[in-house]
Structure 1
């Protein structure tokens, strides 16, 4: 049976050990008041995510600085004039779950809807092989792209052509495959026994590839 890892912290920390992967990972810190305020001051927008969990559940987009703060959870956006007010509200929303803060990446979009990519690999007797590369287009009004949350699946080729028409889609697909193989070997060396992996990639408007998450039980 393929080894499974639930903690986003554990998987992120493993990849951060290797510069070839680390340059593609958004800054990630533990969720607390000081870290959230500092990252908002630096990036303007961040995502907070449960350390354990998937399917886009519990993901919250937070933005703001000075006297204007807001967060979006599912389709609900709340605004605040003070950081402390917003932070107290976030504490209530997240309840007792452990959260992390991830640098917000302004993803390329299609008609204003964010899109990201899932690349899945599995280990066979012949070694690691690619199973799929698809784009996931967020449902209108949502900040997550997960299909379980109403996202739309597109082929990787079509998703790149529609979201980044000024960039070579063929080159980006090749780049994602190369990064996937590199990170797969890292994950296998750090966690012997993994047999399937799903890499969630986001591309910003310049075409840079960001590793948003790694799944050991990809759907």
Structure 2
């Protein structure tokens, strides 16, 4: 049962909560107060003044970050009194929820620890005529559906660019933004991200040479001098990427089709264009291929996740290395990459120093991206590499980093850390 109560502060240095007697008589065993990530053990007392006011000592007001005279909803569970929040997750619908049911169940459990009720819904589950959604939540070991008002905070977890670009979905998101706070608003445009960083002198050195919508002549010039990648500006998970290089007098092309790596050879760049790009290179970038550091003749790069916390500050939440055979064109796990620790191929001293550098870089990059999107991002994934001379390069920035790594048992704790940060950031958004 939820109780809507007005919080009022009273001067006292002890950890005391005073609730209406009507609540106290039902819940006498409460000994903990929880407000998002903040919790304290407290004395639980009663008053007879009215049925709508909860008095909180000045000491607890500070510790729990309550605002005086504000109404909160409280959910009392056994010995804990928790501020009740809702955390909406925008998905493609029930099929996506069912496909990742175990992940969403774990998220729900962690949200419960912070007082959040996690509501998952698809873009088709929204009724703007009554401003409510049909949503799914996990409780008592099963999924149930219910009708709820729009959550104040919504986490955008639409699974792919094609769906997110659909006119109906775009309109739905725009309408939701008039009633709710949505974080992680969209997948990134690769060229736009490149431009953002190019305009910042402190991070320009991280960027491989890149050109947007190259001409056929430019493509030929680049291939004659170095290996290159052609990347769609709206691509993700390695989709649509071409690796092209010159081998003697032949041009070699590698790319994925239906999750299978296809290779072909061509005598001219015109042959490549005619086969793969008959409509030109619109919405593509050409980028120099960095000769990545190798271990046992296998390429290595690094994935680092960052998340915002309840102070609206960025934290590094996950890091790991990926390794693939030299002929692979990407290091995505879904494309066959192996997951390893950074400490597996450097000495502890060198790995620690490298990790510190990488973490400093991604925190700086996170702030730059977030400023551009006016604080609308809550999590990011960065792909970075080092070349044979140990120079660091930024390869990709991901607006919705994938969860495939969570299939590995050794990253179970990292998964929970990321989920905790998602709710901590939602707590900040709820109370800002």
Q: Which interval holds the TM-score relative to the shorter structure? A: 0.7 to 0.9
RMSD of equivalent CA atoms:
2.3
Q: Distance in 1 between matches of 2:237 and 2:280?
A: 18
Matching residue within 217, 237, 242 for 1:55:
237
What number of residue pairs does the alignment pair up? 212
Aligned to 2:224: 41
Alpha-carbon distance, 1:142 to partner: 2.0
More relative contact order in 1 or in 2 (CA 8 Å, sep 6+)? 1
Q: 1:211 and 2:397 equivalent?
A: no
Aligned to 2:269: 83
Alpha-carbon distance, 1:11 to partner: 1.0
Local SS of the residue matching 1:20: coil
Please identify, of 56-65 and 94-103, the stretch whose mean Cα deviation from structure 2 is larger: 94-103
On the 8 A contact 1:114/1:138 being kept in 2, the answer is yes
- Give the structure-1-normalised TM-score: 0.87
Q: 1:25 and 2:210 equivalent?
A: no
**Unmatched 5+ stretches in structure 2:** 1-181, 403-432
Q: Distance in 2 between matches of 1:100 and 1:21?
A: 19
Local SS of the residue matching 2:383: strand
On the 8 A contact 1:61/1:71 being kept in 2, the answer is yes
Q: 1:6 and 2:167 equivalent?
A: no
Q: Distance in 1 between matches of 2:269 and 2:247?
A: 8
Alpha-carbon distance, 1:198 to partner: 0.8
Local SS of the residue matching 2:245: strand
- Counterparts of 1:22-171 in structure 2, within 5 Å, are 22-30=204-212, 31-42=214-225, 44-64=226-246, 67-74=249-256, 75-91=261-277, 98-126=283-311, 127-138=313-324, 141-158=327-344, 160-161=345-346, 168-171=350-353
Alpha-carbon distance, 1:170 to partner: 1.8
Which is higher, the Rg of structure 1 or of structure 2?
2
Q: Distance in 2 between matches of 1:97 and 1:13?
A: 17
Matching residue within 380, 384, 398 for 1:201:
384
**65 and 150 in structure 1: CA distance in 2 versus 1, 3 angstrom threshold:** closer
**131 and 190 in structure 1: CA distance in 2 versus 1, 3 angstrom threshold:** same
Q: Distance in 2 between matches of 1:95 and 1:83?
A: 12
Q: Distance in 1 between matches of 2:326 and 2:202?
A: 34
Local SS of the residue matching 2:305: strand
Q: Distance in 2 between matches of 1:171 and 1:88?
A: 47
Alpha-carbon distance, 1:146 to partner: 0.3
Local SS of the residue matching 1:168: helix
